[in-house]
């Protein structure tokens, strides 16, 4: 019987790595600001793109409608973000960071960068670039095989 060594299997290896990394990073902001990973992602997008819709956030973060909707609801309750709706299209929300949210963003961004730096010391710049190129190629290939599975 043909065997499979999980520890050498790419999807599994990436899953373990990414989950540990996300969880470790989350400890940096989770209890400090009482926000979850989806909530942080919403804040991260709004820090970069102010006044966008929930769907735009979903597109940027690859989170689905529902996850974004609930993250937005929690952030509104915590007053980390504000919401209006477009006059021209009242279906579309217009999200932006409230003062408290800007503080979270300003505090977390350097920590996140520090964390990334603390990990990527294992790469010299060229190797890191190659690793990133690998991620991009896999990402593209994922989309290519999509649907077309066996």
Partner DNA sequence: CGAGTATAGTTTCAGTTGCAACTATTCTCA
Partner DNA sequence: TGAGAATAGTTGCAACTGAAACTATACTCG
| Category of 64 on φ-ψ map: left (φ > 0), alpha (ψ -120 to 50) or beta | beta
* Residue 113 interacting entry, from DNA, a second copy, none, C-beta within 5 to 8 Å by type: a second copy
In the complex with DNA, the residue whose CB is nearer, 67 or 105, is 67
CB 55 within 8 A of CB 65: yes
CB 115 within 8 A of CB 106: no
117 CA to centre of own chain? 17
Among 13, 32, 65, 137, binds DNA (CB under 7 A): 65
User: Does residue 112 bind a second copy (CB under 8 A)?
Assistant: yes
The 3-state DSSP class for residue 94 equals strand
Residues in touch with a second copy (CB under 8 A) = 1-7, 9-22, 24-25, 27-28, 41, 44-45, 47-48, 60-62, 102, 105-106, 109-116, 118-123, 127, 130-132, 134-135, 137-142, 145-146, 149-150
């Amino acid at each position: 019987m043909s065997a499979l060594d999980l520890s050498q299997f790419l999807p599994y290896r990436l899953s373990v790595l990414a989950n540990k990394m996300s969880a470790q990073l989350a400890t940096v902001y989770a209890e400090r600001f009482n926000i979850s990973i989806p909530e942080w992602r919403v804040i991260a997008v709004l820090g970069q793109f102010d006044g966008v819709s929930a769907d735009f956030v979903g597109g940027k973060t690859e989170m689905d409608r529902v996850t974004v909707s609930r993250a937005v609801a929690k952030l509104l309750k915590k007053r980390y973000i504000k919401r209006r709706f477009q006059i021209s299209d009242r279906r579309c929300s217009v999200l932006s960071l409230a003062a408290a949210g800007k503080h979270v963003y300003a505090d977390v961004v350097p920590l996140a960068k520090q964390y990334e730096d603390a990990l990527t010391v294992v790469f010299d710049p060229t190797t890191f670039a190659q690793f990133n190129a690998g991620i991009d190629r896999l990402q593209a290939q994922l989309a290519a095989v999509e649907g077309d599975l066996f």
